[in-house]
Chain A
Amino acid sequence: MNRAISKIIFAAASVIFALLFLAPLSTVIQGGFWVNGRLTTDYLIGVFRNPIYSEGLFNSLMLAIGTTSLVTLIAVPLAWLTNKYDFPAKKWVSGLILVPMILPPFVGAIGFQQILGPYGGLNTLLGLGPVDWLGRMQYWGVVSLQALALYPIMYLNANAALANIDPAMEEAAANLGCKGFTKFRRITLPLMMPGLFAGGTIVFIWSFTELGTPLILNYTKCASVQVFDALKEIGTNPFPYALVFVMLVCSVALYALGKFVLGGQAYAMQSKAATVSNVRTVTGARGLLVLLPFAFVILVALTPHLGVIATSLAKPGSWYQSVFPASLTLGNYAEALGHEMTVSSIRNSLLYSSLAVAFNTVLGIAIAFVVVRSDLRGRGILDALAMLPLAVPGLVMAFGYLAISAHVSNTDWVKTSPFWQNLLDVRTNPTFFLVIAYSIRRLPYMVRSAVAGLQQTSVTLEEAAANLGAGFLTTLRRITVPLITANLIAGGLLAFAFSMLEVSDSLMLAQRADYYPITKTIYELFHLIGTGQYIASALGVWAMAFLAVTILGASLILGKKLGAIFRA
């Protein structure tokens, strides 16, 4: 490819990326260290001295450790079974096992509350009095909800890692007399470690900074909720900045550790699939025995969402001291669709997500093009940078955008101009920042998809077009983009689906009811006294169905490659 063109694309992509990604981060850092015109570490130290903040950080860390451990315990045995056995209904099960991933734990929490609340289904089923399970075990409630939503990420990574192991490795161990659990511990597990770290890193960062679930379950003593509560003081109080900075450092450090120290040493296999892997077919009673853990995990993981569905169908007030709602109705759906806030929120979410995906597609193709097709020196750095949004929690990004907005909307040129106010002041109109936040967070999926597509597409196909007289843009439009369309659609669908149910950015940046996206509306409805949670559930069910359809579409297009997108 023409060097001049790649240099221009490289420069443009770098500048846009730096502005939209690095600027909010530097605002966060600046806000915590540069106070009243001087550099200070008082607030950083203050975060650790302040008993409330340090407890919040500690609790968040414990949430992340608990969630990651639980996720590993669930996912690794399942992945091992998948790779070892052919059992009845395996095809169905291996699809269903991924479903929880697409259901945001934040929505599930509403159903969870209905089932585990003092007057909820579980207590009635067990014939107990009003035991407040969630009040007593808030920590475990958050951990299990998160784990049940995030284990598919680990499962996909573990599965890919196992599939990548040359069966001859295990056969060689068996040949030397090593078998059973010893073989797994000494040979298989070490070989799949890089994959586990890759998945574990994403799960850890995700649960470390998750905002929606603790918020709904009212677990307020964790850092993410504390940041959320401190948003009102964003212009005046440096402490939330420092708190966010600590979360940022922890996440990036962990990401770096996972990627460059532990995950980086992926073992090169001598041969891939040189021998047919020894998958054993089990039927009958033994087949059911293998099936059992899958069925159990799927059932438990879907319980919160079944709870949401049940709530959405319950007549307001009828799910009280009963296992299931006493009387059912479709009225909540009618009311949800009739409520002016929900209708506008669906429209808003569609608009934000579409814009975000469109922006992402252009930026993603540009970055992928430079990374794969040019020989520019900095392309490796650009590639690594484009992956960084995986390492930076949504909460941190949202906080950064909010801080920028708060900062610029205080300047005179914004104050006096309706145009700039609409664009840059989230209190007036959050569209710009929400679109940017949605797209930057999902950029890695898009870049990965486009890079994979370009790598699979021989460069000679583009050269052949140039040879026949096609310029750069013609080649891009007629040859390159059509050839990687499947990848772009898959990446775009994923980005779109995740944008539609984005939590942190939406809760923090959308501050006016007529600009609320779906998630913020669910959150606000949930807090309405009376029928709120029923309408919120109905909207949640609608959103889950929508998300299920998009992800299904993505997986059909992308096939087995879906897992590759969730690897750090």
Chain B
Amino acid sequence: MAVAIRFDNVTKRFGDLTVVERINLEIEPGELFFLLGPSGCGKTTLLRSLAGFYVPESGSIWIGDRDVTRLPPDERDTGMVFQSYALWPHMTVAQNVAFGLELRKIPRDEIDQRVADALAMVKMGDRADYKPNQLSGGQQQRVALARALVIRPQCLLLDEPLSNLDAKLRLDMRTEIRRICKQAGLTAIYVTHDQKEALSIADRMAILDRGTIQQCGTPESVYRRPVNRFVANFIGETNFIDARVASISNGRATLDSPVGPIISTALPEAPLSIGQEVTISLRPEVIHVGTEPKDPSNVFTGNIHDTVYLGEMAQHWVNLPPVSSFEEIALKVFELNPKILAHDEEVKEARVWFRPENAVVLVT
């Protein structure tokens, strides 16, 4: 049932503007795959090209072993959930869901059964005779999902399906969507700009910026080992430190930074050369403050000059004094289950340390 999806060198232009350029993607059967990026990065364009609303200028798109590049939308057999849900206001919930089945000339009693099943799956069985405008945003969203799923499409396309919901509902719905996708065994492509959605439920994800794929991988690999400044900055929060390669041995590099030498074992795939300019990405939560160093490699002494207390954690700004004539560096640090209190009267001196595998070296 589940099929693979392949983008092969896909380029889409609007007039002079190239929106996506030479995209290559392979999505495995049954995978919940995310396209993630800021607005204007081309993620929705890719999804709409897959649905058939856009035809790319070059390259090809495959669903299973079918080349669908030039196929009209109504012959692609994809189920799409639109950002605005696009429920037809002149039809009831049940009529909305039944529409795709009617087009497939399925017998009436089977339609009724499948509509009932689909609505039950999204927990909307008791709203079958309502009109869309009588439903809340979350309910509309679930009807849209049922409408897309009931036709048992080859793949499910989700275009920012949760962006119109409030925060609490979004949390519930995203696990719900994953449950439904896995239960139906569908290949699903999910477009969003919300990294939390992607990190929490994606099997794999592609990060897009300005029409090209920056990185593709599992949420963990993308988060822990971003390949460039854009990805490191877009997914989660990070500190950037400019540095220069001093020495390398056995996958362990020593880097000269404004605050002194930093040891890293998180090196890029491409080999580094001595003297090369690089950037070190340090996530705020991998920097420890005020505790005994468990690794002697990267230990510094700095000043906490600002603290924001957030309950489960505290967010500190720690200034590290520079060596020689460089400027000092301010690091953002998260302290979980915080001991250092907020708004303490004076600037405090504190010891700061992090493990070499958490200092990610970026070439660009």
Residues of A at the B interface (CB closer than 8 Å) are 2, 458, 460-461, 463-471, 474, 478-479, 482-483
Instruction: Closest B residue to A457 by CB, please name it.
Output: B89
Question: Are B79 and A467 in contact (CB-based, < 8 A)?
Answer: yes
Which residues of chain A come closer than 8 Å to B104, judged between CB atoms? 469
Task: Specify which of A2, A467, A478, A479 is in contact with B78 (CB 8 Å cutoff).
Answer: A467
Task: Specify which of A461, A465, A467, A478 is in contact with B51 (CB 8 Å cutoff).
Answer: A467
Interface residues of B in 46-87 (CB under 8 A from A): 51-53, 72-80, 82-84, 86-87
Question: Are A458 and B90 in contact (CB-based, < 8 A)?
Answer: no
Which residues of chain B come closer than 8 Å to A471, judged between CB atoms? 72, 74
Contact A463 B88, CB 8 Å, known A2-B72, A468-B103, A469-B103: no
Tell me, yes or no, whether B100 is within 8 Å of chain A by CB.
Answer: yes
Question: Are A464 and B90 in contact (CB-based, < 8 A)?
Answer: no
- In angstroms, Cα B103 to Cα A478, docked, is 11
Tell me, yes or no, whether B147 is within 8 Å of chain A by CB.
Answer: yes
Tell me, yes or no, whether B202 is within 8 Å of chain A by CB.
Answer: no
A-B CB contact pairs (8 Å), 8 listed? A463-B86, A464-B86, A464-B88, A467-B52, A467-B73, A467-B79, A468-B100, A474-B103
Which residues of chain A come closer than 8 Å to B87, judged between CB atoms? 464
- In angstroms, Cα B96 to Cα A276, docked, is 39
- In angstroms, Cα B104 to Cα A467, docked, is 12
Interface residues of B in 105-157 (CB under 8 A from A): 147-148, 151, 157
Which residues of chain B come closer than 8 Å to A466, judged between CB atoms? 52-53, 72-74
B70: min CB distance to chain A, Å: 11
- Ranked nearest first, the 9 interchain pairs of A and B with the lowest CB-CB distance are A468-B100, A464-B86, A460-B86, A466-B73, A467-B80, A469-B103, A460-B82, A482-B90, A466-B74
Which residues of chain A come closer than 8 Å to B103, judged between CB atoms? 468-470, 474
- In angstroms, Cα B52 to Cα A460, docked, is 13
Question: Are A463 and B99 in contact (CB-based, < 8 A)?
Answer: no
- In angstroms, Cα B78 to Cα A466, docked, is 10
- In angstroms, Cα B52 to Cα A478, docked, is 20
Contact A458 B99, CB 8 Å, known A466-B74, A469-B77, A482-B90: no
Interface residues of A: mostly helix, strand, loop or mixed? helix
B61: min CB distance to chain A, Å: 15
Residues of B at the A interface (CB closer than 8 Å) are 51-53, 72-80, 82-84, 86-90, 99-100, 103-104, 147-148, 151, 157
Which residues of chain B come closer than 8 Å to A474, judged between CB atoms? 103
Question: Are A483 and B88 in contact (CB-based, < 8 A)?
Answer: yes
Contact A468 B89, CB 8 Å, known A460-B82, A478-B99: no
Contact A483 B90, CB 8 Å, known A460-B82, A468-B100: yes
Question: Are B82 and A464 in contact (CB-based, < 8 A)?
Answer: yes
A89: min CB distance to chain B, Å: 34
A67: min CB distance to chain B, Å: 43
A483: min CB distance to chain B, Å: 6
Which residues of chain B come closer than 8 Å to A461, judged between CB atoms? 86, 88
Which residues of chain A come closer than 8 Å to B147, judged between CB atoms? 464, 468
Task: Specify which of A463, A464, A469 is in contact with B75 (CB 8 Å cutoff).
Answer: A469
Which residues of chain A come closer than 8 Å to B74, judged between CB atoms? 466-471
A334: min CB distance to chain B, Å: 46
B273: min CB distance to chain A, Å: 50
Question: Are B88 and A479 in contact (CB-based, < 8 A)?
Answer: yes
Which residues of chain B come closer than 8 Å to A464, judged between CB atoms? 80, 82, 86-88, 147
Question: Are B151 and A469 in contact (CB-based, < 8 A)?
Answer: yes
- In angstroms, Cα B99 to Cα A2, docked, is 21
- In angstroms, Cα B78 to Cα A464, docked, is 10
B114: min CB distance to chain A, Å: 13
- In angstroms, Cα B324 to Cα A169, docked, is 61
Other contacts beyond A463-B73, A464-B86, A469-B77: 13, CB < 8 A: A460-B82, A460-B84, A461-B86, A463-B53, A463-B80, A463-B86, A464-B87, A464-B147, A466-B72, A467-B74, A467-B148, A469-B104, A483-B90
Which residues of chain B come closer than 8 Å to A467, judged between CB atoms? 51-52, 73-74, 76, 78-80, 148, 157
- In angstroms, Cα B51 to Cα A468, docked, is 10
Which residues of chain A come closer than 8 Å to B89, judged between CB atoms? 483
Which residues of chain B come closer than 8 Å to A463, judged between CB atoms? 51, 53, 73, 80, 82, 86
Which residues of chain A come closer than 8 Å to B51, judged between CB atoms? 463, 467
B98: min CB distance to chain A, Å: 10
Which residues of chain B come closer than 8 Å to A458, judged between CB atoms? 84, 86
Which residues of chain A come closer than 8 Å to B86, judged between CB atoms? 458, 460-461, 463-464
A3: min CB distance to chain B, Å: 9
- In angstroms, Cα B338 to Cα A406, docked, is 96
B145: min CB distance to chain A, Å: 12
Which residues of chain A come closer than 8 Å to B100, judged between CB atoms? 468-469
- In angstroms, Cα B104 to Cα A483, docked, is 22
